[in-house]
Structure formats: structure tokens, C-alpha cells
Amino acid sequence: MPYESPHAPGPSSVPANENAKGEPRPELHFMVTSESPCPYLPDRYERKLLTDLHGRNAAFHHSRLSQAGFRRSHHYAYRPACRGCNACVPVRVAVDRFIASKSQRRIYRKNADLEPRFRPAMATREQYRLFSRYLQARHRDGEMAEMTFSDYRAMIEDTNIRTEVLELRDANDNLRGACLTDVLDDGLSAVYSFFTPEDEKRSLGRYFILMLIEEALRRKLPYLYLGYWIAQSRKMAYKTDFRPIEALKTNGWSDLEDT
């Protein structure tokens, strides 16, 4: 079935079901996964609605689905479809209205010695070593902790849409962090980041968001998509520090109320 969303209209000059040449776009077909334990909230189960991003129109569909609250993993776009629960709220930073707080300005200063570099989405052994160190320190019991280099390469490269890796390097050219980043029609999307676990005081996860906000502004893109925010999850609390942050509600995107 094709997706339809009042929150994700196509460009005014091109109907949403046609490409720039007026040719029909292939329909997307969706499936619902079976239930599994929720990784964020106890005693709840998650279920996902997903579709395969394939073919030459994958980038078009990915941008529209992101505007409708979907996220990407490999060549799939997904969003929660949980029974009796709507705790996951899609959020994005309106970058042209963003003003860094005092604590965020301190994060800038702490990391002024690091050089941000955008590079094509190609997996390297150096990235994988840091990725493995990060998971062993932060998420040892998670499913990703057992990923091989082939698994990591698939996470980085197995996609038909435009994606890049933002690397942070120190003065000795050592890799200190990396963030897989999708490029959308109306913004950037932070997919997954990892960094040196011993650099906790640098707040590199937040620094990546600040760097992506700057990059979105430089590219004249209005939004930075941060995935889902869950009010009851402490792991998600950092996302609301980047104000103004918009949430996708039943009537479209609007500023998230103070929490």
C-alpha cells in the first residue's frame, strides 16, 4: 500500500506520486513486525511499521517518510506501531531558530581542539574498532555489541539514499567519534553516533548534534531530525535540551512544550 501523510506533502511543482519527469513513482509496500520487548520502557512491547527503501526513488521516499515520523535502518524506513502505546514522539530541531545554551557553549569550547570532517558513507576498520570499544563500554548487553565488521559495514553502506559519516579527529588525526548522517530534502538526520568512551566529560554525543545543526545551517537545510523522544525515558532526555525542538503530533509538526 502507498503511504499517505498530511504532514509530508510533495514539492508544489511535482505531485507526490510522480518524479520530476512526470513519471509514476513505484508504490511503497509496508509490513508490521511481530512484537518484542520494548528496549526503553519496562513491561511494554514494541512493534514496527516498515518499508523497503529501494530503487532510484529511495531518496524521495526517505525524505517524505522522515517528514511523517519514520526513521531509517539499513535500507528500511520504520516507525513505531505499538499496541496501546504512543510514547515514541518524532522530534527535530528547527536549526534557524536554535540558540545554544550556556552548557552547550561550554561543550563547544571543550571540543574546539577536534576537527569535524564529513566523508562518504564507507566503513573503515578504524571506525569499527572505535564502534566496538564504545559498545563494550556503553551497551555491552545490547544486540549491537556482537556486530562483526561485516555487520558494521552493512549498517554504514547498505542503503540506497544519500548518507555521510561525520568524523571527529584530534590534532594527531586520531578518530574520537563518528556519526552516521542522512541527507534529506529538508534537513539532516542523525542516525547513529559513537565515540571514545573515556571522553565522557567532552559530551561528544551532544557535540555531534551541535555540529550537525551548524552543518544544516551551512547547507541551508531547515531541520535536524533526532529520531524519537520518550518522556518517560531518561536516555532520551538530552534531546529536549536543543530548543526550539519540534514534535510530530496528530495535527503536524509544532514546538514541543516545556518538559
The CA distances from residue 60 to 34, 57, 65, 175, in Å, are 28, 5, 9, 32
DSSP string, 87-105: --EEEEEEGGG----HHHH
The whole-number pLDDT of residue 5 equals: 29
The whole-number pLDDT of residue 17 equals: 47
The whole-number pLDDT of residue 99 equals: 96
Per-residue pLDDT of 173-225, as tens digits, reads 999 999 999 999 999 999 999 999 999 999 999 999 999 999 999 999 999 99
The whole-number pLDDT of residue 26 equals: 58
**pLDDT under 70: residue ranges of the chain:** 1-26, 258-259
Break the chain into its structural domains and give their ranges: 91-255
Q: How many CB atoms are located within 10 Å of the residue 9 CB?
A: 11
CATH 1.10.760.10 fits 91-255, yes or no: no
